[in-house]
Structure formats: C-alpha cells, structure tokens
Structure 1
Amino acid sequence: MHKSLVSGLGAVLVAGALLAPSIARSNVAAAVESPDISVTNTKAHLDQLQSIATSNGGNRYTGRAGYKASADYVKAKLDAAGYTTTLQSFSTSAGTSYNVIAEWPHGDANHVVMAGSHLVSVSAGPGINDNGSGSAGVLETALAYAASGQTPRNRLRFGFWGAEELGLLGSKYYVNNLPAAERDKIELYLNFDMIASPNPGYFLYDDNPAGNGARDDLVSYFTSKSIQTEFIDVQGRSDHAAFRSLGIPTAGTFSGAEEIKSSAQAAKWGGTANQAFDPCYHRSCDTIGNLDLTSLDRQIDAIGHMIWNYAQKDYTSGPPPGGDNLILNPGFESGTANWTGTTGVITNSTSRPAHGGSYKAWLQGNGRSSTENIGQSVAIPAAATAASLSLWIRIDTAETTTSTVYDTVKVQIVDNGTTATLATYSNVDRTTSYVQKTLNVLAYKGKTVTVRFLGQEDSSLQTSFVIDDVALTTS
C-alpha cells in the first residue's frame, strides 16, 4: 500500500450486511457456488516471492532485479494456465517497471471484470504482506478459475501492478494508456492490497457509486461466513484509484497496515488491541513470517467468490426488472442516503443489533407517546410480472401483555398522496431474533411510490422495531 496516502484509516465506518433474498443491486445471474481457493497454493506463491527477494538484495522494489523476477514468475504461471498475458513496461524515477496483465480468452470482451493488486515491495524489505499477499491471492484465484472448467459470461482480466509505492504509477499508466472505448468495457475493478496482516482486521473499501453493488456483495459474503467487516474510506490509497477516477465501479479488501487495532476491533476480530494491524508495515521484517494465514484464507475465498459470481453477471439486460433490488442503500450502511424521515432513526447504536453490520432503522423504543417514520421513493417497472417488498425485523418490548396492542410499526405504500398499509407489526409480535417479512406490491407496477415504515408508541413501556436489509425486487 502506498505509504504517503495511507494515513486516513481513522475515519472508519462499520459495514452492514445485505442478506435479502437477492444480492443488492448486483444483478448477478443465478447464484454460483463460491470456490474454496487453496491457501496452501497461495502460501507457496508467497514462499516463492520471499525466495526471489532473498536472492535479490532482500526486496522486490521498482527498477531492481527482484521486481522483474516477481513479474516473470507471475507471468509464467498465468501463461502456463492458458491466459493471454502482457508484460507492460514503463519508466519511473527508480528505473523501468512492469505491469503484468492477464486475460482469460473467453467470455464477452465488451464486458470486462477485472481484479488486481500491486506486486512491488518497498525498498526496505521483501513486501510479503504488502503486497505479496494480495498478489498471491489474485494469482491463485486466476489459476483456480482457469482450472475450474467454468464458462464465463464476461471477460476476466487480472492486473499485477508495478511502482505502486512510488505513487500508484503502474495502475495509472495502464488506465491512462487504454483507449476510451476499452476503458468503457471495464464494468468492475476489484483491488486487494494487504490481506494477511498478522494482527488482522476485515476492512472493505467504502466505494459504492450508483450501480455498484460489489461493495455490498462483499459485505454479504463475509457476513455469510460470520465475519464482521468495517468500511474504510480508501480514496487514493491503492490501485483502485485510477479506475475510480474514471467512474469505473471499484471494491476491495484490506486487513490493515500501521494503524492501531482498537479494543472494540480486537473484541470482534481477535488479535491484540493497541497494536498495529501490521507492525512490520514497510519494514524489513515484512517477511514470510509476517502473515496471518487465517486472514489470508478467508480473504482469498472472498476474491474467489467475487470472480466466480461477477464472471457470470449479466451486464446486457439493463435496469430492473430482472431481480435487482430497487431500494437504494437497503442495509442503511450509507447512513441516511436515499432515505427521508425522522432524524435519528437510521443509526449504528450498539444498543440494538443490526441484521448484519451495524446500521439499521430503529423506530420507537422511546417509552413515551411518539411517532417516527422513514421512507424512500421507488419506481416499479410497468413490465413487472411480480413485485415483492421484503424486510428483516426484530421487535423487543417492555410491554408485558402478549395479547394487547400498544405500539406498532406499519409498512406502507404512499401512491400519489394515498396511503395503503400493507402490514402492521406490534409489541405482541415480539421476537428476540430477526425474521423476514415479504409483501406483494405488484399492484403498484408502473408507478413511482414511497415505501414507508411508520412507528407509533404509546405513553409508557418501550417497544423497539428494528428494520434492516429492505428489498423491493421484480421479475
């Protein structure tokens, strides 16, 4: 990771989970079984990168023999697996550097899904976590895909970047030298920079421009493995930046660098509080011993999950209908974005759990007479043959009765000023865990309506209605 740009991890947002029946706004085709990428094979690549560094002055830095040998190693592996590879050279202040670009020669070349990592180390050490780990993970995923027999819908491309530590030069050179028509074919870029830190965290890039569900798909994947994640504002800190600057959707993972792990992070991820995620960041001790193999194993499986699924994503069918979630910010993980209503309802308070992640809509729970609401405007396509609104809800209450309704939350559709209540849940429906509710909204096809949740509470004894992972899907 580029050091001069790595100083902002303190601005951390906690990521949420999207566990609605369809993956939020991803339009991924039928569910593809996620692969188990071999951590043994990935570790073997890292052993080789360590050996290359050891034989070349202890590093794999730009312009030095250790970096060229690293690029040659990666290229040879991909050539042998059947990839079409290019060694792209460019000049830097430290000498000639190289990008390794590998393309699987199958799938629609007009729709490219790309993953990458920087292959170069700093001059101080071998760079096995930073960023041999990401490079080894991307390499092994590419090799596993080649061996899998999968037939991709889209063209898969992998990039291994040079001169990242000099200011992201390799990825910038690659993007800036692509013709505009070729840039437009890249539908998604996934970046993996430091994924095996010895005191690891599970961070996801907070990159989610309109139409990009990849970040949320990563949240959903990790949540399905009972791994909590946090968002970081990566901005220009790694090689995704050149792609993002052109409006290409980006996402990625990161296990932490020189920043200090908090007590709260240690409580949920293990490891040691008040110690750096990687004490050997940019140092000579970033060797083969500077790895957490559990983090590496989990992260490479996430890379595999994204490649297997986005290889099959249908980028040709246009906007919904087609299974996409019409609700924007469905898990509330971008705070109040796309939602309107009572201030403070969308929250990451730890007093009530989210369905996944931390943010959710928490209506009522005040223990006094009050009304709260949130809502979002949604256009339901006229061509829909089915339309369903689903939500996950948890209800806890201090009311002692099991039969008398005192506090309620209503699920409503507001259509041109007319309000229809689709369902009402109350203190009587208390539940200590989330349950999913699904409601038919086909009657509103061809209309732009507001989906609204309206909570009402009486004068005493709180009832908390916590709603998360809302989805409105059509077919």
Structure 2
Amino acid sequence: MRTPRAIAPVLAAALAASVLTATAPTATAASPDIPVANVQAHLAQLQSIATANGGNRGTGKPGYLASVNYVKGKLEAAGFTTTTQSFSTSSGTSYNLLAELPGGDPNSVVMMGAHLDSVANGAGINDNGSGSAGVLEAALAYAASGQTPRNKVRVGFWGAEELGLLGSKHYMSSLSTTEKDKIELYLNYDMIGSPNPGYFVYDDNPVGNTARDELTAWYTSKGIPWEYIDVQGRSDHAAFRSHGIATSGIFSGAETVKTSAQAQKWGGTAGTAFDRCYHSSCDSSSNINVTALDRGADLIGHMLWLYAAKDLGGTTPPPTGGNLLQNAGFESGATVWTGTSGPITSNSGRPARSGSWKAWLGGNGSAGTETINQSVAVPSSATAATLSFWLRTDTAESGSTAYDTMRAQVVDGSTVTTLATYSNVGANATYAQKSFDLSAWKGRTVTIRFTMTEDASLQTSFVLDDTALATS
C-alpha cells in the first residue's frame, strides 16, 4: 500500500468506526475454501525471489520482473491468456500483468487485482505479497474448477503502486472510453495478512456499495467482526474509482495503531500497529498472520465465484451445457467441497479416473462415516439438469450382505433425497459412469452429497471422480 502524505485524522476515525449490520449476500454465491497452504507457497516464492535479488521486489529492480514472470507462468499454465504492459518510472521500467480466462461476456468485465511491487528496502511479503498471492491462488482455483463464467474474468497485478499508483493509472489511461465502460467492477486486495490484523472493507466509493455489502456479509456469515474504512485513494482501486467504476476491497491494516476496542473483538495487541513492519526490511515471510491470510484468500475466492456468475446486465445469457459443479475432478484438492477431511486425495493407493486426485470414501476396515458435499444452484431456465459421476468400488467383503454403503444424495433444505445406494455387493473395480435426472430441482440451490458408511470389519473403497452437473 502506498505511503500517505500524512496520516489524516479521518483515517483514524474510520479505523475505529464499527459496523454491526450488513446487506444479505446473493443467495446463489458459492464460497470456496482457497487452501492457505497454496497461498503461503506463493509467498515463499516471492520471498525467495527477493532474497536472490537484493532483498526486495521493487520497481525497476530485477526482483520485480522475476515476480511478474513467476505469476505469469502460473496463470498461463492454468489456461489464462496474459498480457504484460510496460511503462517508465523514475526508478526504471515497470510492468503490469493482465490475465483473462476464456469465455464470459466481453462487454461485462469483472476485475480483481493487487499490486505486485514492494518498497525498495524490503521483500514486501505482507505489502503486497499477501494480496497478490491471494488473488493468484483464487484465480488458479477458479480456472481449475471448470466453471463457465457469465462475465469476462480479468485479473491485474500492478507495478509501481509504491511510487504513486503508477501501474493502475497507466492501465486505465491505456483504455478507450468504450473499454473502460465495459468494466463493471474492480475489487482490490492490498495487504490481507497483517501480523496484528483487523478486518476492514473499503467504503470510499458510493458506486461500489453492492460489492462492499457482499464483502461485509461474508464476514458476518463467518462470525468475523469487521469495520468500514476509507483508505483515501492509497491503493490501486483509486484509478478505477476516478473513472466511475464500482470498486471495493479488503485490508488487514498497516501503520495505524490497533485500539483496545479493536483488540478486544479481533485479538492481537492493542497499542501496536496492525503491521509493525509496514514498508520496512522486516516485512518478510515471518510478517504474516496465517489466520488473516486464510480468511482473506477465502473471501477473494468467494467474490470471484460470485461476480463471475452474477447478472450485471451484460449481453450474454447465463451459460448452459457446462458443468455447474466446481473442482469437479478434485484436481484442486478439497477446494469448494466440504465434509469429512481426508477423502479427497491424490494417494496412489487407488487410481483416479483422470488426473491425480479423486474422492476415496471408505477403505478403512473400521466403523465410520465419511461425506463430501457441494452446494450448487440449478438454473430455473434449464430445460434439463443431469448429475453424473464415475464410480469405482473394490471390497474385501464377500456374500450378499451390504456391510458397507455409499449413497448419492440431493439435500434441499431439510429434505434429503437418496438417488442411489451402492454397497460392497456387486463391487466393480472398474470405473463406471452413473447419471441422474435433477430436473425436479430447477430453480433451487441444493447440496450434492456423497455419504459412505463402513462397518468395523473388512474394507470397501468407493472411489469417485469426474463429477458433473450439466444443464441444457
């Protein structure tokens, strides 16, 4: 985050202003779990880049270009089309990195972004490796989910923010009025892992109140207290806001001191800065609160999933025929799926049908129950909706008694419908596809659930892969 000319009294007042209510979030929004370990792995790479390049990733320094190339490589491998935009600064050449996914309405663009540069005297791991790593991992998870976006998804990693928001300003100045008008929303993520964190939501753009309310509603739904903040144009959203584009974002605090009231509701240390290493050489890998980083990354993912699919008045109708399930082949681990910890695995003890990951339910040879679940909205406009998955079953049981079972279910509120029950009887160690008509749930947000129950004797393994909920 750019250093202010002075810490204005209004900023301190905004930091202390607590808000108790929020507008309800959009009902159909999925809220994926972005693995914090993956975000930390990106931060470790940025730290290594800084260490190998004079201790920083600042504009005009080799560490900054190496950071751009690292992010670029990850995005391109995930299927994004990238553009590197160069521009001149007083510290040398800097770069913006833009990335887009295929699909989505090109006349209705939703953007999220973070500045990738550090200050000259530190690695910038919280400011702003944290926001950059959160945006990067959310983007990679979305690409892996197999979603078909309704809106065009665009991601920006900005250069020279620390020199005065130069990268984002350069980007906006490079766009025609027509192209600016296509951007429906920009969400900014600058410092999400502060070591003495708070949970702040930008409230400095009246045009962006809908997104602001979605952000605060997510915090409320998780039982996390939050506060509004006017960051006074100190980060890259300001370049978008100045052109009348809706903006908001989240922030975990910088050089301002945490009050006693804030420490009481958030924990941490009163009388100490939210980030005591702000713009200092100690802003390194140890300058991160993992809980704040995890929450921030999950919220970034939530907003990406929500606004990629949201009706923003564009010209393209909602996609049909694609897979409504996210991370349908489990290649992003447990991302989006909830339930028992452990069944979604790349363990080679049972083969995946495709890729390396699958859901391996059971196989323990001991009494227990395991589930995996995912909520999904079935469009009311669909003419057909079909759930399918591939199932492989092997067992050490024998005979005609169903000792171990797996049920495929649809959960609609308090109503649970079992589509099929599989057991150790007739187990087949070859993958076979199963399909079910879900047209009865059109216009409903339901949970797809797979539940395995195993007895205390011999094992049965139910291995799922390549799930789909397709509409037409």
Q: Shorter chain as normaliser: what TM range?
A: 0.5 to 0.7
Q: Of residues 98, 106, 111 in structure 2, which corresponds to 1:114?
A: 111
How far residue 211 of structure 1 moved from its aligned partner, in angstroms, is 6.6
1:15 aligns with 2:19: yes
Would you say the 8 A contact 2:194–2:288 is kept in 1? yes
How far residue 4 of structure 1 moved from its aligned partner, in angstroms, is 2.6
Would you say the 8 A contact 1:208–1:215 is kept in 2? no
Would you say the 8 A contact 1:60–1:126 is kept in 2? yes
Indicate how the Cα distance of structure 1 residues 159 and 211 shifts in structure 2: closer, same or farther if over 3 A, else same: closer
Distance in 2 of aligned mates of 1:177 and 1:126? 29
Q: Of residues 253, 265, 281 in structure 1, which corresponds to 2:250?
A: 253
Deviation readout 1:43-89 (Å, 9 max, x if unpaired): 00000000000000000010010000000000010010000101110
TM-score normalised to structure 1 length: 0.64
Distance in 2 of aligned mates of 1:216 and 1:260? 26
Superposition misfits of 4+ residues, deviation over 2 angstroms: 4-9, 13-20
Would you say the 8 A contact 1:60–1:122 is kept in 2? yes
Match of residue 36 from structure 1: 33
How far residue 17 of structure 1 moved from its aligned partner, in angstroms, is 3.0
The one-letter code of the counterpart of 1:42 is V
How far residue 235 of structure 1 moved from its aligned partner, in angstroms, is 2.3
Distance in 1 of aligned mates of 2:46 and 2:201? 26
Q: Of residues 86, 90, 102 in structure 1, which corresponds to 2:87?
A: 90
The one-letter code of the counterpart of 2:2 is H
Distance in 2 of aligned mates of 1:235 and 1:41? 31
The one-letter code of the counterpart of 1:7 is I
Distance in 1 of aligned mates of 2:34 and 2:264? 27
Match of residue 178 from structure 1: 175
* Number of positions where the alignment pairs a residue of Structure 1 with one of Structure 2: 311
How far residue 212 of structure 1 moved from its aligned partner, in angstroms, is 3.7
Match of residue 3 from structure 2: 3
Distance in 2 of aligned mates of 1:281 and 1:16? 29
Distance in 2 of aligned mates of 1:146 and 1:98? 24
The one-letter code of the counterpart of 1:265 is Q
Would you say the 8 A contact 1:62–1:94 is kept in 2? yes
How far residue 129 of structure 1 moved from its aligned partner, in angstroms, is 0.2
1:296 aligns with 2:288: no
Distance in 1 of aligned mates of 2:4 and 2:119? 12
Superposition RMSD in Å? 1.4
Match of residue 131 from structure 1: 128
Distance in 1 of aligned mates of 2:196 and 2:160? 26
How far residue 207 of structure 1 moved from its aligned partner, in angstroms, is 3.1
How far residue 154 of structure 1 moved from its aligned partner, in angstroms, is 0.3
Indicate how the Cα distance of structure 1 residues 6 and 139 shifts in structure 2: closer, same or farther if over 3 A, else same: farther
Deviation readout 1:367-397 (Å, 9 max, x if unpaired): xxxxxxxxxxxxxxxxxxxxxxxxxxxxxxx
Distance in 1 of aligned mates of 2:150 and 2:79? 18
Deviation readout 1:163-209 (Å, 9 max, x if unpaired): 00000000000011111101000000000001000000001111342
Distance in 2 of aligned mates of 1:67 and 1:33? 34
1:65 aligns with 2:65: no
Matched ranges for 1:36-435 at <5 A: 36-210=33-207, 212-316=209-313
Structure 2: where are the runs of 5+ without partners?
316-472
Distance in 2 of aligned mates of 1:155 and 1:280? 37
Would you say the 8 A contact 1:207–1:249 is kept in 2? no
Match of residue 340 from structure 2: none
Would you say the 8 A contact 2:207–2:247 is kept in 1? no
Query: Secondary structure of 2:28's partner?
Result: coil
TM-score normalised to structure 2 length: 0.64
Deviation readout 1:223-264 (Å, 9 max, x if unpaired): 000001111111210000000001100010000111100000
Distance in 1 of aligned mates of 2:159 and 2:230? 23
Would you say the 8 A contact 2:107–2:314 is kept in 1? no
How far residue 149 of structure 1 moved from its aligned partner, in angstroms, is 1.1
How far residue 128 of structure 1 moved from its aligned partner, in angstroms, is 0.2
How far residue 16 of structure 1 moved from its aligned partner, in angstroms, is 3.9
Query: Secondary structure of 1:290's partner?
Result: coil
Query: Secondary structure of 2:4's partner?
Result: helix
Distance in 1 of aligned mates of 2:66 and 2:314? 43
Distance in 2 of aligned mates of 1:235 and 1:268? 25
The one-letter code of the counterpart of 2:253 is G
Distance in 2 of aligned mates of 1:278 and 1:210? 29
Query: Secondary structure of 1:281's partner?
Result: coil
Distance in 2 of aligned mates of 1:215 and 1:16? 14
Q: Structure 1 vs Structure 2: percent identity of aligned residues?
A: 66
Indicate how the Cα distance of structure 1 residues 214 and 93 shifts in structure 2: closer, same or farther if over 3 A, else same: same
Distance in 2 of aligned mates of 1:54 and 1:315? 43
Indicate how the Cα distance of structure 1 residues 11 and 238 shifts in structure 2: closer, same or farther if over 3 A, else same: same
Would you say the 8 A contact 2:208–2:248 is kept in 1? no
Query: Secondary structure of 1:144's partner?
Result: helix
Would you say the 8 A contact 1:5–1:237 is kept in 2? no
Distance in 2 of aligned mates of 1:159 and 1:74? 11
Distance in 1 of aligned mates of 2:62 and 2:148? 37
Distance in 2 of aligned mates of 1:10 and 1:283? 21
Distance in 1 of aligned mates of 2:236 and 2:290? 24
Would you say the 8 A contact 2:188–2:237 is kept in 1? yes
